[in-house]
A and B are shown apart, each in its own frame.
Chain A
Amino acid sequence: MNNKEFERLLLTVQKPGRYSGGELGSVIKDKNKVDVRFAFCFPDTYEIGMSHLGMKILYSQFNAREDIWCERVFAPWLDFEEVMRENNIPLFALESRDPIKDFDFIGFTLQYEMSYTNVLNMLDLAGVPLRSADRKDLSPLVVAGGPCVCNAEPLADFVDIFFLGEGEEVDLEVIDLYKKHKALGSTKAEFLREAAQIEGVYVPSLYDVTYNEDGTINAVTPKENAPAVIKKRIIKDLNNCHYPENFVVPFIQIVHDRAVQEIFRGCIRGCRFCQAGFIYRPVREKSAEVINRQAKCLCENTGYDEISISSLSSSDYTELEPLLNEMLDWTQQNHISLALPSLRIDNFSEELLEKINHVRKSGLTFAPEAGTQRLRDVINKNVTEQEILSTCKIAFEGGHTAVKLYFMMGLPTETDEDLKGIADLGQKIVDMYYGMPNRPKGKSVSVSMSVAVFVPKPFTPFQFEPQISKEEMERKQAYLKSCITTRKIDLSMHDSSTSFLEGAFARGDRRLGNVLEAAFKKGCKFDSWNECFDLQKWNEAFSDCGIDPDFYSQRLRAYDEINPWDHLDYAVSKGFLVREHQTALNEKTTPNCREKCSACGANCYGEGVCFEKR
Chain B
Amino acid sequence: MRNVRIFYEKKGRMKFVSHLDMNRFMSRLIAKSKIPVWFTEGFNQHAYMNFAVPLSLGYVGLYEVMDVKITDDSYSLEKLVDDLNAVSTPDIHFVKASESVMHTKEIAFAEFKLSFDNIDAKMVNDFFTQQSIITKKKTKKGGIKDIDIAPLIKKAELCGNELTLILTAGNENNLNPSLVMTAFYDFYGVDPDFYDVTRVMIYNKDLEQFV
Contact = CB atoms under 8 A, between A and B. Distances in A.
Contacts of B87: 24, 303
Nearest to B28: A303
B17 interface: yes
B65 interface: no
A16 B58 CA distance: 9
B16 A17 contact: yes
A304 B58 CA distance: 25
B14 A22 contact: yes
B31 A305 contact: yes
Interface in A279-314: 299-305
A223 to B, nearest CB: 47
A22 B57 contact: no
B57 A24 contact: no
Interface in B32-72: 32, 39, 45-47, 57-58
B194 interface: yes
Interface string A244-276: 000001011100000000000000000000000
A110 B83 CA distance: 40
B72 to A, nearest CB: 16
A10 B57 CA distance: 11
Nearest to A10: B16
Given A8-B194, A16-B57, A305-B27, A300 B32 contact: yes
Interface residues of A, number: 24
B50 to A, nearest CB: 18
Contact of A335 (B12, B29, B45, B194): B45
B32 A302 contact: yes
Nearest to B21: A251
Interface core residue of A8, A20, A249, A251 (most chain B CB under 10 Å): A251
A21 B13 contact: yes
Nearest to B32: A303
Contacts of A22: 12-14, 89, 91
Contacts of B89: 22, 24
A303 B37 CA distance: 14
Contacts of A11: 16, 57-58
Given A11-B58, A305-B27, A335-B45, A17 B32 contact: no
A300 B13 CA distance: 24
B28 A304 contact: yes
Interface string B1-30: 000000000001111111001001101111
A3 B196 CA distance: 13
A24 B18 CA distance: 16
Nearest to A302: B28
B17 A17 contact: yes
A10 B13 CA distance: 11
Contacts of B27: 303, 305
A20 to B, nearest CB: 4
Contact of A305 (B12, B21, B28, B194): B28
Given A22-B91, A305-B31, A335 B46 contact: yes
Interface in B141-196: 194, 196
A550 to B, nearest CB: 46
Interface string A1-23: 00010011011000011001110
Contacts of A197: none
Nearest to A336: B31
A17 B28 contact: no
A334 interface: yes
A517 B176 CA distance: 47
Contacts of B196: 4, 8
Interface in A478-498: none
A334 B16 CA distance: 29
B57 A303 contact: no
Interface core residue of B16, B27, B46, B87 (most chain A CB under 10 Å): B16
Contacts of B39: 335
Contact of B30 (A7, A300, A303): A303
Contact of A20 (B13, B25, B32): B13
Contacts of A334: 31
Nearest to B44: A360
Nearest to A17: B16
A7 B17 contact: no
B28 to A, nearest CB: 3
A64 B171 CA distance: 47
Given A7-B15, A20-B16, A251 B31 contact: no
Contacts of A21: 13
A335 B14 CA distance: 26
Contacts of A299: 31
A253 B91 contact: no
B21 A17 contact: yes
A301 B32 contact: yes
Nearest to B91: A22
A236 to B, nearest CB: 34
Contacts of B88: 24
Nearest to B17: A251
Given A17-B18, A20-B16, A22-B12, A303 B58 contact: no
Contacts of B21: 17, 251-253
B45 A249 contact: no
Nearest to A20: B16
A106 B37 CA distance: 44
A251 B28 contact: no
Interface string B87-100: 11101000000000
A245 to B, nearest CB: 13
A287 B202 CA distance: 54
> Top 7 A-B pairs ranked by shortest CB distance?
A22-B13, A303-B28, A303-B32, A20-B16, A303-B31, A16-B16, A251-B17
Given A8-B196, A249-B28, A300-B32, 7 more contacts: A4-B196, A24-B28, A251-B21, A252-B17, A301-B32, A335-B31, A335-B47
26 contacts: A8-B194, A8-B196, A11-B57, A16-B16, A16-B57, A17-B17, A17-B18, A17-B21, A22-B14, A24-B29, A24-B89, A251-B16, A251-B21, A251-B24, A252-B17, A252-B21, A253-B24, A299-B31, A301-B32, A303-B28, A303-B31, A303-B32, A305-B27, A305-B28, A305-B46, A335-B39
Interface of A: 4, 7-8, 10-11, 16-17, 20-22, 24, 249, 251-253, 299-305, 334-335
